[in-house]
Amino acid sequence: MATPNLSPSIQPKYAASTPDETKQLAAETKTLLDNSWSLDGEQMGFTKTFYFKTYTKCQDFFNMVAIRSKSANHHSTMTVKFRSVYIHWTTHSPPGLSAKDTMMAKYCDEQAKMLGAVDESQVQTCSSAPAPKS
């Protein structure tokens, strides 16, 4: 059975136990997928890479998410690189996507916007040539 509001090729696995919970998670999943989140390979988690113009902003973002994760008792896998932060949210018990994953993914989007996240094309890496000044 296809999940409501999602294409038939996307079949997330939810940790929800009732049809109403699954319906709500499906709507939230669609919103997140429309906002550049992706499902992981097992379709049991959300992933996204956030880009910032400075490494310090990456650290700030990481810390904001870590503090909120602690208070929500829900922890992600995060990888900080020179100008990016990769995040993976999933629920382990019971396995699958849960309301905690959607809540934390939305929180990440809010905090990234507040900190000035940019598109990947706006990030200058160590190997990138300097952008022309206008």
The 10s digit of each residue's pLDDT in 48-90 is 999 999 999 999 999 999 999 999 999 999 999 989 999 999 9
Per-residue pLDDT band for 8 (boundaries 50, 70, 90) equals: low
Backbone CA torsion sign across 110, 115, 118, 123 = negative
Sorted by sequence, the CB contacts under 8 Å of residue 117 that are 6+ apart come out as 50, 51, 52, 61
- 134: exposed, middle or buried (Cβ count in 10 Å: 0-12, 13-18, 19+): exposed
8 Å CB contact between 67 and 41: no
Per-residue pLDDT band for 17 (boundaries 50, 70, 90) equals: confident
Sketch out the chain's domains with CATH numbers.
Answer: 19-119 (3.30.1360.20)
Q: State which amino acid sits at residue 123.
A: V
pLDDT at 11: 86
User: Which secondary-structure segment (H or E) carries 78?
Assistant: strand 77-80
Whether pLDDT at 1 is above 60: no
